[in-house]
Amino acid sequence: MEKIALSRRQILAGGAAAAVVATERPASAHSIKGEVPWAPSQADAPHAIDPGGYIFFTPQEAALIEAAVARLIPADDLGPGAKELGVPTFLDRQLAGEYGRAERWYMLGPWRQGSDNQGYQSRLTPAQLYRYAIKQLDAHVSSIKDGRRFANLATEDQDALLSDLEAGKVDLGGVSGKAFFDLLLQNTIEGFFADPIYGGNRNMEAWRMIGFPGARYDYRDFVAKHGERFPLPPVGLQGRPAWSSKG
């Protein structure tokens, strides 16, 4: 039988010093040996958005988005809606960033139309899709509503248009109206319920509305309290008002 030489080198006894070192060869590899690395003050911390006005949307685009998200999740007697809770700002920052640029998406061709089961196959990034679809949607509205824009329609008309988009009845210049609607709805729900550091869910109002206690990490004291209402208010990644209270 063929033999291979598996060397069983003796393991060096004694405490070789622990360290993360870049070996000399290959110089560029990250070689980790000796212990689990750790250093003080290291944290892969999240990046909160910069406050302020829109940086992606033009005023005209923003008007449509604000109007649309206000219909997707409206303000009502249950509480504020997507617009009031900052979802347009959330969308703006998402589209201006890594997500808008589809940085983690596979965006190489060839490009082909696929089946629904094959998922997203457009060559447009989310940012490009929003920009294009918003323009097309306003053009579509203008053509059927005497030159008006989506934002200026009565809410019933806006709802009707959104329903048509959802049902796949509107083509947006070669882009599926349903594809845009699905993405907008998904992103709107994301913004409504995401941590407030991303611009939506202001003051954790959406969490409070449904009863989600937020970025907590310990429910041990409450696991056995079946059927009872959880007593603590929501907390976000940046805390809650009580974190800065006196007394």
Partner 1 sequence: MARKLPSIDVALVGFGWTAAMLAQEFTDAGLNVLALERGVWRDTPTDFAPTFIQDELRYYFRHELFQEASRETLTFRNNGGETALPMRHLGSFLPATGVGGAGIHWNGQTWRFLPTDFVAKSHNEQRYGKLAEGMTVQDWGVTYDELEPYYDRFEYLCGISGKAGNLNGTKQPGGNPFEGPRKRDFPNPPMDMTYAPMLFAKAAQETGHAPFPCPSANMSRAYTNPLGVQLGPCTYCGFCEKYACGNYSKASPQTTILPVLMRKPNFELRTQCEVLKVNLDNTGKKATGITYVDAQGEEWEQPADLVILCAFALHNVRLMLLSGLGQPYDPETNTGVVGRNYAYQITSAVDVFFDDKLTNTFIGAGSLGMGIDEYNGDNFDHTGLGFIGGGYIALWTTNGRPIETHPVPEGTPKWGSKWKKAVVDNYLKQCSISTHGAVMSHRGNYLDLDPFYRDVHGRPLVRMTFDFTDNEHRMSDYLTDRAAEIARAMQPREIKVSRRKGSYSIVPYQTTHNTGGAIMGDDPKTSAVNRYLQSWQAHNVFVMGACAFPQNPGYNPTGTVGALTYWAADAIRNQYLKSPGPLVQA
Partner 2 sequence: MRSATPFLIAGLLVATSAGLVFADGDHAQIERGRYLVSAGDCYACHTADPSKPFAGGRPLQTPFGAIYSANITPDRQTGIGAWSDDDFYRAMHEGVSANGERLYPAFPYPYYTHVTRGDVLAIRAYLQTLEPIANAPPRNKLPFPLSERAVMRPWNWMFFDDGAFHPDPSKSASWNRGAYLVEGLGHCGACHTPKNVLGADMDDKALAGGTIENWFAPNLGADLRTGLGGWSEADVIDYLKTGRNSHDSATGPMSEVIQYSTSQLNDEDLHAVAAYLKDLPGEAGRVPSSASGQQTSSSGLSGSGEAIFLDQCSTCHRSNGEGTPTVFPPLKGNANVQQADATTVIRVILQGARTTPTDARPTPFSMPAFDWKLSDAQIAAVATYVRTAWGNVAESVSADDVGKLRRTLHAKAE
Q: How far is CA 107 from the centre of its chain?
A: 19
Please select the residue that binds partner 2; options are 7, 10, 28, 42, rule is CB under 8 A: 42
Please select the residue that binds partner 2; options are 2, 11, 12, 15, rule is CB under 8 A: 15
| DSSP conformation letters of 116-156 | GGG----SS-HHHHHHHHHHHHHHHHHHHTTT--GGGS-HH
Which pair of tokens denotes residue 99? 């997500």
228 binds partner 1 (CB under 8 A): yes
Instruction: Select from 29-37, 49-57, 95-103, 122-130 the region that touches partner 2 (CB under 8 A).
Output: 29-37
Classify residue 165 as exposed, middle or buried by CB count within 10 Å of its CB (0-12, 13-18, 19+). buried
246 binds partner 2 (CB under 8 A): yes
Q: Which is nearer to partner 1, 101 or 149 (CB)?
A: 101
Tell me which residues in 74-133 interact with partner 1 (CB under 8 A).
Answer: 74, 76, 78-79, 81, 98-99, 102-108, 110, 112, 114-121
Do the Cβ atoms of 64 and 138 come closer than 8 Å? yes
Instruction: Select from 56-64, 69-77, 129-137, 141-149 the region that touches partner 1 (CB under 8 A).
Output: 69-77
Site string for partner 1, 37-56 (x = CB under 8 A): xxx--xxxxx----------
Do the Cβ atoms of 205 and 80 come closer than 8 Å? yes
Taking residue 53's Cβ as centre, other Cβ atoms within 10 Å add up to 9
Please select the residue that binds partner 2; options are 6, 30, 38, 118, rule is CB under 8 A: 38
11 binds partner 2 (CB under 8 A): no
206 binds partner 1 (CB under 8 A): yes
239 binds partner 2 (CB under 8 A): yes
Structure-derived torsion over alpha carbons of residues 233, 234, 235, 241, reported in degrees to the nearest 10: -50
| DSSP conformation letters of 76-118 | BTTB--TTTTTHHHHHHHHHHSTTTTTTTS---S------GGG
76 binds partner 2 (CB under 8 A): no
168 binds partner 2 (CB under 8 A): no
Tell me which residues in 215-234 interact with partner 2 (CB under 8 A).
Answer: 216-218, 220-221, 232
194 binds, among partner 2, partner 1, none (CB under 5 to 8 A by kind): partner 1
Do the Cβ atoms of 64 and 57 come closer than 8 Å? no
SS3 15: coil
Q: Which is nearer to partner 1, 164 or 190 (CB)?
A: 190
Question: What single letter denotes the amino acid at residue 173?
Answer: G
Q: Which is nearer to partner 1, 63 or 69 (CB)?
A: 69
16 binds partner 2 (CB under 8 A): yes
CB of 198 to partner 2, least distance (A): 16
